[in-house]
Chains A and B, each alone.
Chain A
Amino acid sequence: MSDTKDDNLHAQRDDRVIEEIIELQREFYFEKKGRQTERRQRLRQLIERSIGSEGDK
């Protein structure tokens, strides 16, 4: 039961992070074309923020 609950929480978090990643891509696609380094830097920050320091338990 608790495994299913964890899976659901992970799936919800994945959905949210994917949505944020696409938003980031959209921002750079339309407004900041060609700024790959900055975009990837922002993606790293987004992943760090989403996963936290303890990781994916």
Chain B
Amino acid sequence: MWIERLTLKDFRCFYGEHSLTFSTDESRNVTLIHAENGVGKTTLLNALLWCFYGKLTEKFERRDDLVNLDAREAGRTSAFVEVLFSHNNNRYRARRHTKGGAGDREFVVMRLDAGSNVPVSNPDMFINSVIPEDMAGHFLFDGEHAEVFLGEENRAGIREAVQDILGCSLVRTAIQDLTETATHFRRQAPTSRATAGLEETNRRIDALVEQAAEAEKARDALDADVQHVEQRIADIEAQLRNSTAAKQLQAQRDKATAQLESARRRKREANDAVLKWFSEDGRYLVSTRLSELALESLDQKEMKGRLPAPYNEELVHDLLEAHRCICQRELTVGTPPYEAVQSLLQKAANATLRDRIKKVQTVLNQFKRERPKAPGRLEDANRRVLQADSDIATLERDIEDVSIKLRGIDFDDIAEREKRRNELRREANLKRESIGSFNHRIDQAGREIESLKRELEQLARNDKEARTFLVRSNFCERLKGRLERELKEDERAARGVLRTSIERILAKTSRKHFRLRLSEDYSVSLVNEAGTPLAKSGGENQLLGLAFTAALVEFAKLRQNAEGHKLLRGTIAPLVLDSPFGQLDEDYRGTTASYVPQMAGQVVMLLSRSQCSPPVMDALKDRVGEEYVIVRHNKDKRESRPPETRQFHGRTIETARFGADFDGSTLEQVTQL
């Protein structure tokens, strides 16, 4: 979608009808809108959202009060927003009226077809197919959007964003619906004499599901707290790293911490090896005598021709059927010779028996072969556990020594910072313990639920109707499980694409070299080459937010022709950025401003005077195709207020006017000619 023009009539602070033409020139793809606080930047952004989806951003105040006050005083009762746009080589006009403004139809979309307007039959559906509503928020970016990605605290928000752009809406609701439907069917199973206890078991399952959900909520909140505390620890460590007195000690601690992590990993691996030994190699020793005797016995019997027997089943059957022995004696049914030959069948060898004996011999020979090696493997694993334990103890002591030394440094506020760091570390550890306990509760509830479900199945065994409902419920659970697994896999792939994009964008815009860590649980952090989390300044957080948005937009474009029926296709849409440079310093602003035009085909930027610093304007000057300023009109007299003016390409524009006929805003085009 490319937006060509936005028209507002009596919409919030815009009194009367106003239009804004967006640049559709690919080489000058930026439309710049200058606006100070409180003059209508957020209204413009909300006008687009409202026109397309009838919704407003969360922080938009007086949401039900959309008609301009002076327009109402003048007797007008409705407002509208109209967007002229092109999509897939067609041009459209979407218009939404406030309630009662245009008869029954508040929202219409017309296709402009050779001079005539052809109404689109289902406008909501059409707009959703152009930009799915869930994706729209990531294009119409209200400045606060970046907060979602700040630091590591909002994993849920990040996950939702990735899922939105991945087009998971259908799968997400399908999973929710299947969960609800599985519960519905489970509860529907009727209780009868044959299924007494069904109701009680169902109640217990419901209670456990609720407990698990509450525990998950509490755990997630604690998890977010831990991430927050860890970020504060990383901040303090960065300060210590930058302080001359503490630099060496902190470097020593960084090194010891990395080694400690590695020793802990080695210990885990060695412990796993010990456990593996017990489950795999232990049997070679435990069964020494038994396997020796068995192999010996098999070998002896084989040597004596007893096992397998020297004659096979097929031969005995042939003799009995032919009624003649090998010695040519006649075998008549019921006679002692016939029965003597028939009795051979009890010991006769057949293909299955021969195969089994072969397999037993192979296993016993393996036991014999592996037995001498097994003790060595256990000793080696135990030695590795001991070595790792010893390393861990030494490194923990080293780290504690560094901490004591840091606390002992009696200048600046290093000691205080170190003390605070240790307090935070203790806080994080305590919270982690609570997380562990919640996880344990969740696991336990999960196991109990599974066991109760098995109990339900047992109870329903004697009642066909109850069984049918449980089968339906289990069917829903199975389909849900499959969708969840597939979604997880799609998300994993999406994270990989996004991580690469963000790293590339940060490499272009940031002055530091770092890698992005976007884990499976959606925690985001910047780390150095050694994997140590780095403290981020406010500006870097904002940069990360912008990089994330840019990566999402890029991913949506990449997915515009995606195949497959489960995920919605991506889209190309204009990117609207409201005050994107807030916390960036001048150098970052310049670098970022030169990157912003590359973030999407069409970019709209709303900037206040303070954001239009020389590096920003210099970076944008050759990319701006249209430029507007929002002018504020006031009915009040100017009195002692100083004039508020701005210069645009040699024109002086008064941005706050007094003694006007209305209170509200207008748009003035200031594009360089």
Using a CB–CB cutoff of 8 Å, the interface residues on chain A facing chain B are: 14, 17-19, 21-23, 25-26, 28-31, 33, 39-40, 43-44, 47-48, 50-51, 53-56
Contact = CB atoms under 8 A, between A and B. Distances in A.
16 contacts: A14-B478, A19-B565, A21-B177, A21-B479, A22-B566, A25-B169, A25-B170, A25-B173, A30-B125, A39-B173, A47-B181, A47-B475, A51-B468, A51-B471, A55-B467, A56-B471
Contacts of B476: 47
B364 to A, nearest CB: 31
B184 interface: yes
Nearest to B483: A18
Contact of A51 (B129, B472, B565, B566): B472
Contact of B184 (A30, A44, A51): A44
Contacts of A56: 471, 474-475
Interface string B157-179: 00000000000011101100110
A18 B471 contact: no
Given A22-B174, A40-B180, A43-B178, A29 B475 contact: no
Contact of A40 (B129, B170, B177, B478): B177
B613 interface: no
Contact of B468 (A19, A23, A26, A53): A53
Interface of B: 122, 124-125, 128-129, 169-171, 173-174, 177-178, 180-181, 184-185, 467-468, 471-472, 474-476, 478-479, 482-483, 565-566, 568
A39 B177 contact: yes
Contacts, number: 74
> Is chain B's binding surface mostly helix, strand, loop or mixed?
helix
Contacts of B169: 25, 29
The list of the 5 closest CB pairs from A to B, nearest first, reads A55-B471, A25-B170, A30-B125, A56-B471, A25-B174
A7 B357 CA distance: 32
A19 B476 CA distance: 14
Contact of A47 (B122, B124, B467, B472): B472
Contacts of A47: 181, 185, 472, 475-476
Contact of B475 (A23, A30, A51): A51
A4 to B, nearest CB: 18
A43 to B, nearest CB: 5
B174 A14 contact: no
B181 A44 contact: yes
Given A21-B174, A26-B170, A47-B185, 19 more contacts: A14-B479, A21-B177, A21-B479, A22-B171, A23-B565, A25-B169, A25-B170, A29-B128, A29-B173, A29-B568, A33-B124, A39-B173, A43-B177, A44-B184, A47-B472, A47-B476, A50-B475, A51-B471, A51-B472
B382 to A, nearest CB: 43
A54 B468 contact: yes
Contacts of A39: 173, 177
**Chain A CB within 10 A, most for which of B169, B174, B184:** B174
